[in-house]
Amino acid sequence: MDLNDIRGGRLDVISEESEQQDFSRESSTMEAYTVVPEPAGRTFQRFSVNTNESLRFEPCEDSCPSPTGAEDGRDDVFEKGECEGEITSTRNQLLGKVAEMENFAGHLEEIFLTVEENFGRQEQHLEQHYNDVLQTLSQRYDDRETGLQEEKKGKLESLYNQLVACGQALDTSKELIETAQEVYRCQDKRLFLKTVMPVVKRVEEFAKEDVDLSLSTSLEFITPLADLSDVKTMMDSINIVPAPSAPVINPQLPNSATQTSLHVCWSLFSDDTVEYYELYYRPVLEDTPADGTCAPQESKVKVKETHCTVTELLPNAQYELWVTATNTTGISPASEKALYMTVPSPPVIKQRECSSCPEAALIRWESGNTNPVDSYTVELSETGTVGTENSITESIVAVPTCQCLIQLQAGRQYLISVRAVNIGGPSDRSDAITISTTGTFFYLLEDTAHPCLSMSEDGFTIFYGDEELPITAMAFEDNTFTRCVAILGDLIPVRGRHYWEVEVDDETEFRVGVAYEDTERDAYLGANGSSWCMRHIRTPSRHKYEFLHNGWSPDLRITVHPVRIGVALDYDRGTLSFFNANMEQHLHTFHCHFHNYVHPCFSLDNPGALTVHNGIQAPDYTFI
C-alpha cells in the first residue's frame, strides 16, 4: 500500500472522528435534564459536562416539569448510574479516538521524516553518480589529449628528418653543379681530361640515388572512437536497483518466545528495494568443536516481511540467527549474528523438600533446564473449602534461586506453582502442589538417617529392624548419624510457633526433640548442648522418661505411658514443650533462647517404629 492510500484511509477516519468530536463538544456545552422530585421524596440531580469531560452533579433546588411533559418522570429520566456509565463509555471512546489520531499523526510525522531522509540519500546518490561520470570523462579527455600530443610529436619529427634529408641532397647537387662548371671552364685540356672523369663518376652516382619526394607521414590525425562503455554503464546504473545492504537483526525483546518458537525482527537502515529475506538459524551447543567440524545444521526460512516466527525449536536453548536481503540485482551481505533464547521448560517442584507452617511455606524446585535461567516466578492461589481455585492470584517475581520462602495466612489452603523466566519470556507453569497452613508440615531428611533406619513410602514412619548390620556393611555419609540411630526433619526456617506429634508403642525406646543442624553426628541426642530431647527407656519394672540436654535430665516420673507425644516449639518464648497428646497432659518444658533454627530429631534406641504426624493444628493447651 502506498502513502496516498494510507493518507486516504486515515483522512477518512480523521474526518469521521472530527465529526464525532464536534458532536461531543456541542453536547458537552448543554446542561441536561432538570426533573421534579418523585412522590417518594427522592430528589433527582442535574448534571453538566464540562469541556474537560469531567462530571459535575448539582442538586435541583426547584422542581420543574419534565422535558417530555409526563407527570411520571421515571420513564424519561436517566438513572444516575446509567448516565455515568454512558458518559464514561463515550469519554473512553473519545479518548481512544484521540489516542488513535495522535498515533496516526506520529506515524505521518515518521513518514515525513523518512521521505526527507530517503530524498537526501537519493540526492547524495545522484550527486555521487554525477561526480563519478565527470571524473571518468575528464580521465578520458586527458588520455585522448596525451595521445594526440604524442602523435603530433611523431609527425613533426618525421617531417623534420625528411626536410633535413632534402636539404642535404640539395647541397650535394649544388656542389656537383659548381664542380662541373669549374671543370667546364678549365682552358687546360690536359687538366680537363684529368678532372672530368671523377666529376662525371660522382654525377652518375648521385643520379643513381633515389630521392623520396613523398611525405613521410600523413597530414591527417588518427581519430579513434572513444570507449565510453563504462560511462554508459554508470549512467544506466542510476536507473538500476542496487543490491540491498546488510540487514541488522534487532536484539531479542522480552516475552518474544515460547518453548518451541522465536519471534525475530530485523531492520534495513536504507531505502533499498527488497523482494524477500532469508533468515538462517541454528542452535548453539556448548560442546561444539572450535573447528566447526560437528557444527549443528543450519535451517533457513524465506519471508517477505522484516519479521518472522521460527517454530519447532528446543526449549531453553540458544539459537544463532542471521539474515540476508535479496532483490533482482543480487543478495546483500549477511547481517551480524544475533543470539536468541527460547522459553525454559517448566521447573519441577521437589515436594519432598517443601515445608510449611501457619505463617509461611518454603518451596524448593529444580530447574530442569541445561542453560541457566534469569529468574523464577512463584504463583499461588487460595483454594476454597471444596478445593476450587479462587480468582485471587499472587505472584512472586525475580526469584534468583531454586527456592522461595513465601509469607502466607494461617488456616488457608494454597495451590503453588513455579515458572522459569529468561529473556524469551516465562515458561509454562509447573505441576502445582497444595500447601496447607493449618499447622507445621515437614518431611524427614533422608541424607541424615543412620544406615540402620528405613523409611515408609510416605516418608513419615521410620523403622529400626531386628537384624543388626555389621559396621562394614553400613554406608556412612558426611551428614548421617553414625552413633545414634537417628534422623532429622526439615523444619521450615521461620521463627514462631511449631507443633507436631510422634506416635510410638510402649515397647519402643526412642528419643524425640529438636537439634541444631550442625549437631554432632557421632553423639547421642540430648548428650550435647546442640540438642534437646525426650527419651523413653524400657526397664523390666517400669517405663522411664528423661528430658535430656547436655546429658542432664530433671528427676521426673511419668505414670501413664504416652502413645502419642506432642512437641511444641516456640521461638519467641524460647520454649520446647512435650505433651501426652491423648490425655492433653503437659510433660516437660525446656527453656532456651534458640540462636539458630533447629530441626526436629527422632531416634530409635532399640528395634521398633516411630511415626511422625505433622501439618495438624496445635491444640489450644500447647501454647498457653
Say which DSSP state 473 is in.
G
pLDDT beneath 70: ranges in the chain: 1-81, 114, 117-118, 121, 224-226, 234-241, 270-271, 287-294, 384-392, 469-475
Residue 381: give the domain boundaries: 348-437
Distance from C-alpha of 393 to C-alpha of 429, rounded to nearest angstrom? 13
Residue with cell 435534564: 33
Please tell me whether residues 472 and 585 are part of one structural domain: yes
Q: Which helix (H) or strand (E) holds 147?
A: helix 80-184
CATH of the domain at 358: 2.60.40.10
Distance CA 344, CA 425 (A): 8
CA distance 389 to 382: 6
Q: Does the residue 291 lie in any domain? A: no
Q: Are 569 and 429 part of one and the same domain? A: no
| 190 domain residue, yes or no | yes
Question: Which pLDDT score is estimated for 44?
Answer: 35
Q: Return the CA Rg of the chain.
A: 53
277 and 337 in a common domain = yes
Residue 299 in grid coordinates: 535451517
Residues 599 and 473 in one domain: yes
- Contact 249/321 with Cβ under 8 angstroms? yes
Residue 394, domain member (yes or no):
yes
Specify the number of domains making up the chain.
Answer: 4
Do 490 and 431 reside in the same domain of the chain? no
Same domain, 337 and 388: no
Domain annotation covers residue 238? no
Residue in the block written with cell 458532536: 23
> Is 7 strand, coil or helix?
helix
Q: Kindly state whether residue 580 falls inside one of the protein's structural domains.
A: yes
DSSP string for residues in 320-331: EEEEEEE-SS-B
576 and 598 share a domain? yes
Does residue 528 share a domain with residue 404?
Answer: no
10 Å CB burial of residue 367 (0-12, 13-18, 19+) is: buried
Let me know whether 169 and 131 are in one domain: yes
Q: Which residue type does 16 have?
A: E
In CATH, what number is assigned to the domain containing residue 506?
A: 2.60.120.920
**Residue type for position 525:** L
- Give the end of a domain, one of 437, 461, 490: 437
CB 578 within 8 A of CB 587: yes
Residue 469: the pLDDT is 64
Query: Of 182, 208, 234, which residue sits at a domain end?
Result: 208
Residue 356 shares a structural domain with residue 305: no
Same domain, 480 and 577: yes
Indicate whether 525 belongs to any domain: yes
Instruction: Give the C-alpha separation, 318 to 65, whole Å.
Output: 75
Chosen domain end from 437, 467, 502: 437
Decide: pTM greater than 0.75: no
Are 352 and 413 contained in the same domain? yes
pLDDT for 14: 41
Chain centre to alpha carbon of residue 456: 45
Tell me the CB-side half-sphere exposure of residue 606, using CA atoms within 13 A. Answer: 11
Residues in Cβ contact with 195 at an 8 Å cutoff, skipping those fewer than 6 apart? 183, 186
Report the pLDDT value the prediction gives residue 79, as an integer from 0 to 100.
59
In a domain, 561, yes or no: yes
Distance CA 318, CA 313 (A): 10
Q: What angle do CA 274, 276, 280 make, to 5 degrees?
A: 120
- Helix, strand or coil for residue 550? coil
With contact defined as beta carbons under 8 Å apart, do 23 and 49 qualify? Answer: no
- What pLDDT shows up at residue 198? 81
Residue 223 in any domain: the answer is: no
For residue 289, the model assigns a pLDDT of 57
